[in-house]
């Protein structure tokens, strides 16, 4: 068979398959308990995803039919089993990618840590120690905590509302979930004992998920998402506003009994006085809810900085630096720009703690942090990576310039530590970012250089050979 005829037949079969897929009705499932993002109201799809999905399906030419479920776990089970073909609002995860193809994100939102108002503020999940932390079963946050914070005591709940009520009633210590969804529920259910005490590392990047056997419709879905207007997104954000209680006074009865005798007039006066009390109580409740919203907004702004700062040294923390590492790697791939990674580790830190106590150990860490801060340039990113280890990312910097900065840090540290009981020294490993490096390989190179510096007698600088 001639080659061009074979290609023509294949093209026709693909077009036929696309037409069949276009005409097929797709069953979709949602999270029935995730207001205001998505939920079921009298068996109907409601919330932000209902608004978006209706528009996207229309623009993409999809025929869809809702398959109701009881909770998110049942929705995920139905998607995995093929009982549902598509879901309009979820995050990407590796486990979900085994059976779902994902669209581009079309809605983003932060995740925060909620607690009883008597709990103290924390920077983020890294500061959680012995507290019991609730998370909705089968949410991406559950697998994220298992992977990155395996020692945290998790408590699985079936919905955001259940988790918030447990925090409000002190049944659990913390609850991590979406800011917008939980804020909506706090106002709607008057959970006045809750406040935000920290930001989670993970942000929601919400998108549509389609089972692999229907992946051919994904280009149309992505094109439809790109056609969403600014007005569409503004309307979606308006759906995040919590339901407010509005007091109404019915004066109809007053007109009906206005001509009745003195006894009934006195009774009406008492009724009116009672209604005024109700109105004032409702007004106070609304004012308290508005005040709670303002407090939450203010705390959220304060925690933006707290979440990326190490509380002891006031340098950036690991979560902040991880984002900058990704930016540097992407910049290297696109522009071939130079970048150096400097890894500093305090020498004999355990000796300081064991000999002089943990307070002096903290002073050692603060001294090195201040030295790094004073020596680093404005364009450098500095952070406490963990324990006695510090990291400096130097964009647009070659190995010679990185080595010069490392020497300045060692020399300045010797001056700053004169007031300490013993001299403070540090070993340093330097690695230049390669064109094929990932975060793991880049940090692995610097870590090996640091190891050689320690083996060479400490208080040394070693450069990784790429």
For the beta carbon of residue 398, count every other beta carbon within 10 angstroms.
12
Q: How far apart are CA 278 and CA 250, in angstroms?
A: 12
Instruction: State which H helix or E strand residue 284 sits in.
Output: helix 262-306
pLDDT at 12 over 50: no
Q: Please tell me the predicted confidence (pLDDT) of residue 285.
A: 77
181 contacts 161 by C-beta, under 8 angstroms: no
SS3 310: coil
- Coil, helix or strand at residue 38: strand
Q: What is the pLDDT of residues 140-184, one digit of tens each?
A: 888 888 888 888 999 999 999 999 999 999 999 999 988 888 888
In degrees and rounded to multiples of 5, residue 155 shows phi and psi of -125, 115
Tell me the pLDDT of the chain averaged across its residues.
86
Predicted local distance difference test score (pLDDT) of residue 19: 43
Range of lowest pLDDT (27-31, 319-323, 326-330):
319-323
List, in sequence order, the alpha helices (H) in 357-398. 358-375
Angle among Cα 45, 188, 232 to the nearest 5 degrees reads: 45
Cα separation, 187 vs 204, in Å, equals: 21
DSSP 8-state class, residue 309 = B
Per-residue model confidence as pLDDT tens digits over 412-440: 999 998 888 899 999 999 999 999 999 99
Question: Which among 391, 183, 392, 199 has a CA at the least distance from the CA of 305?
Answer: 199
Q: Retrieve residue 133's tokens.
A: 């932390």
Q: Is 283 helix (H, G, I), strand (E, B) or coil?
A: helix
Looking at residue 244, what is its pLDDT? 41
Rounded Cα gap, residues 111 and 180, in angstroms: 8
Cis peptide before 36 (omega within 30 of 0): yes
pLDDT bin (cut points 50, 70, 90) of residue 185 is confident
State percent of the chain over pLDDT 70.
Answer: 88
Among the listed ranges 41-45, 238-242, 343-347, which one has the minimum average pLDDT value?
238-242
Identify the helix (H) or strand (E) that includes residue 63: strand 63-66
Closest to 311 (Cα-Cα) out of 457, 154, 89, 124: 124
**What was the pLDDT predicted at 288?**
79
Residue-wise pLDDT for 390-414, tens only, equals 999 999 999 999 999 999 999 999 9
pLDDT at position 3 is: 56
Strands 194-211 and 86-90: antiparallel
| CA dihedral angle for residue 370, residue 374, residue 375, residue 377, rounded to 10 degrees | 120
**Rounded mean pLDDT, 290-310:** 78
Is the Cβ–Cβ distance between 363 and 420 less than 8 Å? yes
Quick one: what percent of the chain has pLDDT higher than 90?
57
Of residues 180, 228, 239, the one with CA closest to residue 41: 239
């Amino acid at each position: 068979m001639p080659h061009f005829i074979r290609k023509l037949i294949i093209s026709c079969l693909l077009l036929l398959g696309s037409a069949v897929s276009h005409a097929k009705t797709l069953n979709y499932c949602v999270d029935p308990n995730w207001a205001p993002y998505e939920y079921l109201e009298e068996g109907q799809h409601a919330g932000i995803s209902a608004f978006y999905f209706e528009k996207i399906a229309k623009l993409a030419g999809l025929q869809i039919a809702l398959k109701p479920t009881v909770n998110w776990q049942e929705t995920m089970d139905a998607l995995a089993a093929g009982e549902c073909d598509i879901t309009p609002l979820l995050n990407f995860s590796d486990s979900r990618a085994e059976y779902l193809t994902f669209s581009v994100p079309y809605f983003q939102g932060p995740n925060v840590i909620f607690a009883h108002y008597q709990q103290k503020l924390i920077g983020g999940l890294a500061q959680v120690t012995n507290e019991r932390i609730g998370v909705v079963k089968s949410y991406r946050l559950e697998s994220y905590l298992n992977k990155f914070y395996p020692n945290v005591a998790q408590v699985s709940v079936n919905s955001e509302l259940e988790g918030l009520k447990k925090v409000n009633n002190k049944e659990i210590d913390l609850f991590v979930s979406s800011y917008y969804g939980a804020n909506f529920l706090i106002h709607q259910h008057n959970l006045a004992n809750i406040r935000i005490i920290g930001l989670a590392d993970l942000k929601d990047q919400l998108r549509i998920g389609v089972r692999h056997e229907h992946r051919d419709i994904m280009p149309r879905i992505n094109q439809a998402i790109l056609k969403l207007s600014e007005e569409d997104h503004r309307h979606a954000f308006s759906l995040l506003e919590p339901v407010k209680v509005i007091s109404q006074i019915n004066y109809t009865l007053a007109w009906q009994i206005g001509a009745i005798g003195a006894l009934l007039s006195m009774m009406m006066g008492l009724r009116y006085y009672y209604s005024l009390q109700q109105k004032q109580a409702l007004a106070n409740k609304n004012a308290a809810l508005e005040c709670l919203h303002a407090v939450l907004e203010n705390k959220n702004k304060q925690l933006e900085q707290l979440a990326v700062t190490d509380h002891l040294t006031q340098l950036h923390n690991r979560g902040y630096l991880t984002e900058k590492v990704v930016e540097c790697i992407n910049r290297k791939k696109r522009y071939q720009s130079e970048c150096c990674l400097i890894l500093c580790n305090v020498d004999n830190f355990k000796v300081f703690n064991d000999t002089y106590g943990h307070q002096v150990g903290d002073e050692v860490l603060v001294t090195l942090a201040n030295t790094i801060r004073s020596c680093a340039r404005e364009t450098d990113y500095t952070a406490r990576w963990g324990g006695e280890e510090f990291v400096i990312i130097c964009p647009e910097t070659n190995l010679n310039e990185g080595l010069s900065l490392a020497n300045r840090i060692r020399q300045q540290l010797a001056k700053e530590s004169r007031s300490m009981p013993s001299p403070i020294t540090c070993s340093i490993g330097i690695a230049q970012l390669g064109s094929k490096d990932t975060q793991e390989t880049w940090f692995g190179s610097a870590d090996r250089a640091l190891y050689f510096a320690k083996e060479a007698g400490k208080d040394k600088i070693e450069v990784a050979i790429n």
